[in-house]
Amino acid sequence: MGFLINKLIYILILAGIFLALSKLYPSVRIKGFGAAMTIALIYSVLNFFLGGILGILFKTFTVFIFFIAWFFTSLVVNGVLLAITDKIIDQFEMKDIKAVAVTSLVITGSGIVLSQIFK
């Protein structure tokens, strides 16, 4: 019984939030409390059935985007460090940007593998 009461309270509060938003933002229009209750109920049912699935899909996608961003950031940082190293050490020379890019790619990839091996 507590579960149903909690859900009813949740839906009432959600309906109030929808109504408040409709008062604050002219772009959100709701025709009264009954409509707000219907919106809150439908939203809650959709969230129950689809929220978890959509959450998993979007979280998986954002993890992929995060990994790509992290990899390219590491690539750039390694490239800058290689260029600085080139300027500091006479016995080391990177003749062009392609050499820096390829070396940075190999160093970044190796770093990922080595960090997994030497955890």
Domain extent, residue 35, equals 2-117
CA dist 87 and 29 (Å) reads 63
Please, what sign has the CA dihedral across residues 77, 83, 89, 92? positive
- Stated pTM of the model: 0.60
The amino acid at 74: S
Q: How many domains does the chain have?
A: 1
pLDDT in tens, 34-51: 999 999 999 999 999 999
pLDDT in tens, 72-97: 999 999 999 999 999 999 999 999 99
User: Which alpha helices (H) appear in 1-119, and where do they start and end?
Assistant: 2-24, 33-46, 52-88, 97-117
Distances from the Cα of 110 to the Cα of 84, 89, 113, 114, 115, angstroms = 20, 22, 5, 6, 8
